[in-house]
């Protein structure tokens, strides 16, 4: 009740009773509007005011303490809960909300967030980082009849309705690396429009929703791969009619990169079908990386597994990104690939990260996996710390002769859900709508972009399969009022942050 007492009478003794730590306290409206105030300055009631003219259609400024005091004076029932909770994101209503009764709420999390919100649930728990206090008012007296105290042993339930350090009901004002498979599954199962709304909101926090990044992918060594990936026509295990091609000369690669730059790409990606390169092969790739980098393009390669020395050599050559997809969830991996393990994948990712190279790491959906499988993949990707800077979401391209030919196609809306969940779980990453676009309608792609995808491969060819093509992309983006970035998006963000 300390927060209510302070709201009614902001005296020094009532302020002293608030359970704030020594650090700054974040005051916010959801995740998009916030400021941090030293804890000591919050003794002044004016410090609790967010001078925002409008938020989600409501007129400001917004006064957290004033709202609580007014609610108490009006005789509304109030409950104070301890611990993270699932209501933190909207200013008070003047009308009945869409669901769960008429509710107004305000919350303050010591060292984290104070916010207004709209979900009336009061199921709560505590975290080892400390307690948080929430005050809610409801037109339904039975909804808020108790006061809950902190529990010494936390039992956090993260995801859509609960928390972590954050100021909105999704618990995602900060980047998380502790997503469980259960949470990811709950996210994928969220009502569709709610899911897309939250994904678009988080997308706009960090990115321009009208801009996508363009990359071009070139197969610099094709076919003859000893791995038995069930989706890949380049495996020597399958008869797909693909003719193996040796590693291209640096001059050929450079000419292709120049064409990519002229086509509007800001990143040039090079793929070689190896289990892992020899040192001699790696040197030739390093030479190509240096030449392409000199054009001003970002560089990315995918070469299979690497050892520590090879990762360091690629870093010395100036490589920006290394692509190494996790493909699917750990428990499904053996059904798709038997010649390597999931841990092999994770080990190479760790070596690349240790060398200072950014990661391009995602997976493939539509390989017959259930929704739980997509949840497992997303949880693995989000557990990487830091998150991959690029997260490609590939829709399986069924190639005749591969074991996955004939797999029932994934429903398009399920693809959109996967993109949205990736955006929410990895909000600062570039999410690439990658393979499979040639078979997607413009409308399906538009939903994926709305769900948070902001990167594509340009051109009419990927490694060995068809891509959408420049003419079709140009027409689609014109319809969507969308442009392809003329400089690398993350580089532009870094420059802006430095300024």
Q: Say yes or no: 215 and 88 in one domain.
A: no
Q: Say yes or no: 109 and 214 in one domain.
A: no
The count of domains in the chain is 2
Taking only the tens place, the pLDDT of each residue in 35-49 is 677 877 888 888 888
Taking only the tens place, the pLDDT of each residue in 356-387 is 999 999 999 999 999 999 999 999 999 999 99
- Give residue 130's pLDDT band: very low, low, confident or very high (50, 70, 90): very low
Q: What is the dihedral of CA 479, 485, 486, 488, to 10 degrees?
A: -170
Query: Who contacts 151 (Cβ-Cβ below 8 Å, separation ≥6)?
Result: 82, 83, 125, 126
Predicted local confidence at residue 86, as pLDDT: 36
User: Does 179 map to a domain?
Assistant: no
Q: What is the DSSP string of 82-136?
A: ES--S----PPPSS--SSSS-EEEEEE-TTSEEEEE---------BTTB--EEEE
User: Does 82 map to a domain?
Assistant: yes
Q: Say yes or no: 209 and 170 in one domain.
A: no
Strand 62-63 relative to strand 49-50, pairing: antiparallel
Residues in the chain: 499
Please state, for a pLDDT cut of 70, what percent of the chain lies above it.
71
Predicted local confidence at residue 21, as pLDDT: 62
Q: Say yes or no: 228 and 318 in one domain.
A: yes
User: Which of 174, 195, 221 corresponds to the end of one domain?
Assistant: 174
Whether 388 contacts 357, CB under 8 Å: no
Q: Say yes or no: 332 and 221 in one domain.
A: yes
CA separation (Å) from 420 to 118, 226, 425, 468, 497?
22, 34, 9, 21, 26
User: Which of 174, 194, 216 corresponds to the end of one domain?
Assistant: 174
Q: Say yes or no: 300 and 429 in one domain.
A: yes
Strand 483-484 relative to strand 211-221, pairing: parallel
Report the first-to-last Cα separation within the chain, whole angstroms. 44
Q: Provide the annotated active-site residues.
A: 225, 229, 232, 269, 300, 360, 432
Q: Say yes or no: 163 and 270 in one domain.
A: no
Whether 174 shows a pLDDT value over 80: the answer reads no
Q: Say yes or no: 363 and 242 in one domain.
A: yes
Taking only the tens place, the pLDDT of each residue in 423-480 is 999 999 999 999 989 889 999 999 999 999 999 988 876 677 777 777 888 899 999 9
Whether 354 contacts 311, CB under 8 Å: yes
Predicted local confidence at residue 121, as pLDDT: 33
Query: Who contacts 443 (Cβ-Cβ below 8 Å, separation ≥6)?
Result: none
Whether 164 shows a pLDDT value over 80: the answer reads no
Q: Say yes or no: 231 and 316 in one domain.
A: yes
- Measured from the Cβ of residue 128, the count of other Cβ atoms closer than 10 Å reads 8
Q: Say yes or no: 449 and 383 in one domain.
A: yes
Taking only the tens place, the pLDDT of each residue in 471-496 is 888 899 999 999 999 888 766 666 55
User: Does 199 map to a domain?
Assistant: no
User: Does 231 map to a domain?
Assistant: yes
Taking only the tens place, the pLDDT of each residue in 200-228 is 999 998 899 999 999 999 999 998 899 99
- Measured from the Cβ of residue 479, the count of other Cβ atoms closer than 10 Å reads 10
**Residue 217: helix, strand or coil by DSSP?**
strand
User: Does 193 map to a domain?
Assistant: no
Q: What is the DSSP string of 132-180?
A: -EEEEEESSGGGG-------SS-----STT--SS-SSTTS-SS--S---
What domain range is 432 assigned to?
A: 205-498
Q: Say yes or no: 93 and 213 in one domain.
A: no
Whether 138 contacts 119, CB under 8 Å: no
User: Does 416 map to a domain?
Assistant: yes
Q: Which residue has the higher pLDDT, 238 or 21?
A: 238
CA separation (Å) from 310 to 246, 324, 388?
20, 14, 20
CATH of the domain at 450: 3.20.20.70
User: Does 186 map to a domain?
Assistant: no
User: Does 105 map to a domain?
Assistant: yes
User: Which of 122, 155, 174 corresponds to the end of one domain?
Assistant: 174
Q: Say yes or no: 159 and 215 in one domain.
A: no
Q: pTM score, two decimals?
A: 0.66
């Amino acid at each position: 009740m300390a927060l209510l007492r302070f709201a009614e009478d902001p005296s020094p003794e009532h302020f002293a009773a608030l359970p704030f730590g020594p650090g700054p306290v974040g005051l916010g409206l959801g995740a998009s509007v916030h400021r941090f105030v030293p804890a000591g300055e919050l003794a002044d009631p004016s410090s609790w005011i967010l001078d925002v003219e409008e938020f989600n259609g409501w007129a400001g400024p917004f006064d957290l303490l004033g709202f609580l005091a007014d609610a108490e004076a009006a005789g509304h029932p109030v409950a104070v809960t301890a611990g993270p909770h699932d209501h933190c994101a909207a200013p008070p209503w003047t009308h009945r909300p869409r669901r769960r009764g008429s509710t107004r709420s305000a919350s303050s999390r010591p060292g984290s967030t104070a916010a207004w919100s709209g979900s009336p649930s009061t199921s709560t728990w505590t975290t080892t980082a400390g307690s948080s206090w929430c005050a809610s008012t409801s037109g339904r007296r039975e909804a808020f009849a108790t006061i809950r105290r902190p529990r010494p042993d936390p039992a956090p339930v993260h995801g859509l309705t609960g928390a972590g350090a954050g100021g909105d009901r999704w618990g995602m004002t900060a980047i998380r690396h502790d997503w469980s498979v259960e949470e990811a599954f709950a996210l994928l199962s969220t009502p569709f429009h709610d899911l897309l709304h939250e994904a678009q909101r988080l997308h706009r926090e960090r990115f321009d929703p009208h801009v996508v990044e363009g990359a071009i992918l070139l197969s610099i060594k094709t076919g003859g791969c000893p791995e038995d990936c069930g989706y890949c026509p380049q495996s020597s295990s399958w008869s797909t009619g693909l003719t193996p091609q040796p590693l291209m000369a640096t001059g050929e690669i450079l000419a292709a990169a120049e064409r990519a730059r002229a086509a509007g790409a800001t990143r040039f990606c090079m793929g070689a079908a190896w289990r892992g390169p020899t040192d001699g092969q790696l040197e030739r790739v390093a030479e190509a990386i240096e030449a392409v980098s000199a054009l001003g393009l970002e560089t990315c390669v995918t070469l299979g597994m690497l050892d520590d020395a090879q990762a360091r050599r690629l870093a010395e050559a100036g490589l920006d990104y290394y692509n190494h997809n996790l493909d699917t969830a750990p428990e499904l991996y053996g059904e798709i690939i038997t010649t390597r393990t999931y841990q092999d994948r994770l080990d190479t990712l760790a070596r690349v990260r240790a060398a200072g190279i950014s990661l391009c790491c995602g997976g493939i959906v539509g390989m017959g996996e259930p929704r739980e499988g997509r949840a497992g993949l997303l949880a693995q990707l989000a557990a990487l710390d830091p998150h991959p800077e690029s997260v490609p979401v590939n829709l399986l391209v069924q190639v005749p002769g591969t074991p996955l030919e004939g797999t029932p196609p994934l429903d398009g809306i399920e693809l959109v859900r996967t993109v949205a969940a990736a955006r929410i779980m990895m909000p600062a990453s570039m999410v690439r709508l990658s393979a499979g676009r040639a078979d997607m309608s413009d409308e399906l792609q538009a939903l994926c972009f709305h769900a948070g995808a902001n990167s594509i491969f340009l051109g009419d060819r990927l490694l060995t399969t068809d891509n959408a093509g420049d003419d079709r992309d140009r027409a689609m983006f014109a319809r969507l009022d969308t442009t392809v970035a003329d400089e690398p998006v993350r580089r532009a963000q870094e420059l802006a942050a430095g300024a």
